Amino acid sequence: MILFDGVWFSYTPGRHVLQDISVEISPGEVVALMGENGAGKTTLVKHINGLLKPSQGTVFIDGVDTRTTSTAALARKVGFVFQNADHQLFADTLEGEVAFALRNLGFPNDEIDERVTRYLEKFDLTRYKERSPFLLSGGERKRLALASVLCVEPEVLILDEPTQAQDAIQKLKLAQLIDSFRGSGSIVFLVTHDVEFAVQVVDRLLLISQGRLLADGSPRQILGNHDLLRRARLLPPQITQLAHKLADRLPSFPRDIITLKEAVTATSRLLAKR
């Protein structure tokens, strides 16, 4: 479980980047954190793996205060895929990159080989396995960073902007992968600007603006609240915008639509009535 209890944080004295954040996330939850550029999203998630410690308040991971835990102990539990994949890749080959954390955590060799093969395959990278990570495209590097963190199968998985530079097929695969994590009782904490992706995969949305938690609820509750979205400088999914435009003309058309599937159902119903 992740618990933020009255967390404040400043990089420089007097300038609060996180302000009084309190939130609890239980095993099995898939959560997205959204908000404007510079809102404090990356700063907040860096508190989960102990890269940053609160200036005031406490962060508990499985009941343990991050201030009293080593980063190494947290690394066992919390996998973190950085916003910029280049900050976490360093090995000579893709295989070496994925094997690194497994070796560090003391996995047996046959288990390492099996997971390296399986995770390179999951992320469509097998054909480059002996290449240098630095010869990959931006999107491929991001997938390699994902593979090298996910292969450990951490209890908490933090993904900072995972859909950046990914095409539709890769996004769909990522959505399926997140779904499989949900089944295993892990926490997935997604930082994203991609509302369309978020509604597909998350159960819960947190909105942050200027370091303060603005809202916490289901995607439907939050994405239907245009005032909240405006304050967090987000646009609702395009399909929701379309539903509102249709509902302006056809009062029986539902406004609380957030996915394409719901829009198709509502449209079919409408056509059947005519």
Query: Which residues of the chain form contacts with Mg ion (CB under 5 A)?
Result: 41-42
Tokens 């390699």 — which residue?
144
The entry of ligand ADP, Mg ion, none that residue 37 binds, CB within 5 to 8 Å by partner kind: ligand ADP
Binding to ligand ADP by residue 41, rule CB under 6 A? yes
Asked whether the beta carbons of 161 and 193 are under 8 A apart, the reply is yes
Least separation in angstroms between CB 191 and ligand ADP: 7
Backbone dihedral region for residue 236 (phi beyond 0: left; psi -120 to 50: alpha; all else: beta): beta
Q: Tell me the window of 39-47, 58-66, 94-102, 122-130 that interacts with ligand ADP (CB under 6 A).
A: 39-47
The entry of ligand ADP, Mg ion, none that residue 43 binds, CB within 5 to 8 Å by partner kind: ligand ADP
The SS3 of residue 7 is: strand
Least separation in angstroms between CB 38 and ligand ADP: 4
The entry of ligand ADP, Mg ion, none that residue 17 binds, CB within 5 to 8 Å by partner kind: ligand ADP
Binding to ligand ADP by residue 39, rule CB under 6 A? yes
Cross-strand pairs, 206: 33, 216
What the block records as the tokens of 234 is 């987000």
DSSP labels, 148-170: HHHTT--SEEEEESTTTT--HHH
Asked whether the beta carbons of 54 and 43 are under 8 A apart, the reply is no
Least separation in angstroms between CB 43 and Mg ion: 8
Binding to ligand ADP by residue 209, rule CB under 6 A? no
The entry of Mg ion, ligand ADP, none that residue 40 binds, CB within 5 to 8 Å by partner kind: ligand ADP
Tokens 């860096």 — which residue?
46
The SS3 of residue 142 is: helix
Binding to ligand ADP by residue 40, rule CB under 6 A? yes
Q: Which of 6, 27, 38, 138 binds ligand ADP (CB under 6 A)?
A: 38
